Structure 1
């Protein structure tokens, strides 16, 4: 019951964010991120991500499963959004709209806050650049989930299922090559995001977001909304490689 009550509190927190700032559905919570990614996303990359044809098996399996069932667990939702935002460098408004159409449990307040959190545009949340290969190995260690949704990888050995491009028989697969180099794309995204965080006025705007939207608890673990200051060295740059 304690966990259930906590989830209800989180739901209210995110719904309240949208109530307080309706523009977060179409505008970056931290204004410094406006223009970071192209307003008109790469059409080919966006289509590949939506259809589950990026050449990144665990991402593609998740997207195909979502299209068929209308649901993904929280870790998978975070990962597909993060890969779209960082590795594919797609604007969250385009990818967020696709996910909103797909999720059977779509709730605007929760959805758009999470979309911005996972794309790194809030200015206050930890930035996590998920490695889709590592996530596939960690979350689907036997490959059972991936193989259900990617039957074209049936002949790929288990050890290379999340990196089929490394298999000797990759050229004969009816499966696309990766649209990006995972490590290179992550490094480029990290540098771009970090450059924004070093910009003039970034911390002042981040403090404003914290005062208005950050979640806080009292000594008894109950949510409260009192102002707090950002730490002097607010380098929330944790990477889930």
Structure 2
């Protein structure tokens, strides 16, 4: 789920089949349960992974329910205080650079190009692409979310739009998560194989500077010529975005609406860790959990 290097073989890759209805969640859940029984008590080592996978299937329904309960989420911020925070008409140059993998931020560009070529991307990189667009490039989620919807072969609106808003910080109930794309590149592509494959223009850049070529002493021979200069200063853009987003969260009016959003959309589990019906009488006793771990893909 974290690294695009291993994502192709570590994820189930069933999401397109679920999105198009070739498989039902019930079929996949039952097949997973059968496999859980097969490996129980053995040393196969799949127990934890299968349990996590079952949880992801439940998360899928949970996110689909959000959009079914409130279809306006495709067009309006979950928390109204974030309406107008970013320009309704996005900066055309920034949007185009992000869409084509020409931002000058290597790991972001590599992921964008990979997605364009394959129609698929692992969970964390989807989150990072959305976060960079929303925070560093300060683009409205409706424009960038629509582009990603067209790119994903496993596009599922019920998962997509709530997740797009979550990664853009407009829900009012989720932690503001601003990914550092330079750090993500170093952490998730430690051998630099992924970045080098999708950004061949960086062939001459040493590994130590690959994720931030502007810090390389030879950057002058590369940036603005065969590879674009970074479209923003990564650290400065993140700082300014954080200040803007958190400024909205101050005040009683924000908190009052945020509580209503949580009451309607936050996921809940009972004491045994099972998802519960939000409309059931025991709802008030259920424990709210953080939605941040729910992924686009399963």
Question: TM-score, normalised to structure 2's length?
Answer: 0.75
Q: Deviations over 1:38-57 (max 9, x none)?
A: 00010000000000000000
1:197 match = 249
What pairs up with 1:85-96 in 2 under 5 angstroms? 85-96=134-145
Shift of 1:200: 4.4
Instruction: Determine helix, strand or coil for the equivalent of 1:223.
Output: coil
2:127 match = 78
2:80 match = 31
Q: Distance in 1 between matches of 2:56 and 2:110?
A: 28
2:31 match = none
Shift of 1:215: 0.1
Shift of 1:227: 4.5
Pair 1:99-2:156 in alignment: no
What pairs up with 1:92-241 in 2 under 5 angstroms? 92-173=141-222, 174-224=226-276, 225=278, 226-227=283-284
Q: Would you identify which runs of 4 or more consecutive aligned residues in structure 1 move more than 3 Å?
A: none
Q: Deviations over 1:83-106 (max 9, x none)?
A: 100000000000000000000000
1:51·1:63 contact (CA, 8 Å) conserved in 2?
Answer: yes
What pairs up with 1:36-51 in 2 under 5 angstroms? 36-51=85-100
Q: Distance in 1 between matches of 2:238 and 2:167?
A: 14
Larger Rg: 2
Q: Distance in 2 between matches of 1:60 and 1:228?
A: 45
1:210·1:228 contact (CA, 8 Å) conserved in 2?
Answer: no
- In structure 2, the gaps of 5 or more residues are 1-49, 293-298
1:239 match = none
Shift of 1:199: 3.6
Q: 1:58/1:228 Cα in 2 relative to 1: closer, same or farther (>3 Å)? A: farther
1:211·1:227 contact (CA, 8 Å) conserved in 2?
Answer: no
Q: Distance in 1 between matches of 2:112 and 2:285?
A: 38
Q: Distance in 2 between matches of 1:144 and 1:106?
A: 27
1:210·1:227 contact (CA, 8 Å) conserved in 2?
Answer: no
1:211·1:228 contact (CA, 8 Å) conserved in 2?
Answer: no
Shift of 1:166: 1.3
Q: Deviations over 1:5-29 (max 9, x none)?
A: 2112111100000000000001000
1:52·1:61 contact (CA, 8 Å) conserved in 2?
Answer: yes
- In structure 1, the gaps of 5 or more residues are 237-241
